[in-house]
Amino acid sequence: MYLTVSNVTKRFGTFTALDDVSISIEQGEFVCLLGPSGCGKTTLLRLIAGLTDIDSGTVSLENGVLSDLPARKRGFGIVFQSYSLFPSMTVAENIGYGLKIRNAPQEQITARVAELLEIVKLPHLADKFPGQLSGGQQQRIALARAIAVDPRVLLLDEPLSALDAKVRGSLRDEIKQLQRSLEIPTLMVTHDQEEALALADKIICMNHGVVVQAGTPEDLYHRPATRFVADFMGVSNLVPTAVIRQEMPALLAERPDGPDEQFDACIRPEKIQLAADPSGMATVRSVGFLGNLTRYNLDSALGDLVVETHGSLGITEGQKVALQIAPTDCTWVVNDGTEVSE
């Protein structure tokens, strides 16, 4: 384990922001903290950075306990959502600031700044001030500033959220490339599951101040542990055990033991096969065209279902359809009472 957070608890007054949270990051790993707003993910990142005091628990790096160190002595890099470049310094001064504090010689700073400007592909902006840059450029510079000091850990606090969609996509790819080539252990906070899926080696999904599930993106998407994760990681059809037993008992094959209320079936929309069938168990309520995908909303004996197919099946509203679901495509998730969104 490179960076370890053990049993950390943080309260703000009576509100418990983090409740006995433990996570870890391996050398060179890209970890995403994913969760809805207010789940405690930003608080966790700030605790790791040393920007907020811990109530109980520890943060340690390679067995050295960090919790006592103020942020400035931890040697981390951080990128915030926005507004974090120093407005009174040029781009070059911003990037070189950490090295200057470390009393690096001027030639070394100049060389390092030039190198980093090349890396983030903005060498022509060295003498500009932050106010003259676009949002995407500012975040690139903020990234360069964070990695200029060869940080032991790179912390990213929703770095893409303030950008518009197109810039977000390209910067996302760049962050990934950069992290892979520099192999800096990285922790990124995000509420965007697509972003987490695209970037992370490991996703830590949080809700109400606790870690709900940690694992690879594939794990979290295909094998969510709870209704909350299933719903947060994309569209899913969640069906109670009793309904499955009555309508599609074959799907019970993989179900863990436990009372009916304990587990629900989770079936991703692309895992359901549709066929027009006048005696089918479902009726098409609406059809949505999403470009490469077609989305069908069905009324069925299993309840409301969402089905997505590549291309169109030529099925229209009001038609009866038959459903086919493989038992291996049905995962069982803990029923934590989460209401399905949408």
Residue type, 250: A
Residue pair 321/282 in contact (Cβ under 8 Å)? The answer is yes
By CB under 8 A, residue 73 contacts other proteins: yes
Residues between 84 and 103 with contacts to other proteins, criterion CB under 8 A: 84-89, 97-98, 101-102
The one among 64, 105, 131, 311 contacting other proteins by CB under 8 A = 131
For the bound state, the minimum distance from the C-beta of residue 98 to other proteins, rounded and expressed in Å, comes to 4
Instruction: Find tokens 């094959």 and name the residue.
Output: 253
Which is closer to other proteins, CB of 72 or CB of 245? 72
Q: Which residue's entry shows tokens 């359901």?
A: 272
Q: Residues 150, 153, 157, 162: what is their CA dihedral angle, to the nearest 10 degrees?
A: 30
CB 212 → other proteins: shortest distance, Å? 20
How far apart, in whole angstroms, are the C-alpha atoms of residue 274 and residue 287?
Answer: 13
> Among residue numbers 7 through 36, which ones bind other proteins (CB under 8 A)?
7
Q: Report the C-alpha gap between 249 and 327 in whole angstroms.
A: 10
Q: Which is nearer to other proteins, 55 or 304 (CB)?
A: 55
Site for other proteins in 132-171 (CB under 8 A): 132-133, 135, 138, 142, 145-146, 149, 155
Out of 83, 118, 123, 258, the residue judged to bind other proteins by CB under 8 A: 83
Q: How far is CA 229 from CA 8, 9, 67, 336, 341, in A?
A: 22, 22, 30, 10, 12
Burial string for 152-182 (b: 16+ CB within 10 Å, else e) reads: bbbbbbbbbebbeeebbeebbebbeebbeee
Task: Decide whether 33 or 302 has the Cβ nearer to other proteins.
Answer: 33
Q: Which of 54, 188, 197, 306 binds other proteins (CB under 8 A)?
A: 54
Q: Does 43 bind other proteins (CB under 8 A)?
A: no
**How near is the Cβ of 75 to other proteins at its closest, in Å?**
7
Kindly tell me the number of DSSP H helices and DSSP E strands found in the chain: 9, 18
Binding site for other proteins (CB under 8 A): 6-7, 49-51, 53-58, 65, 67-68, 70-78, 80-89, 97-98, 101-102, 128-133, 135, 138, 142, 145-146, 149, 155
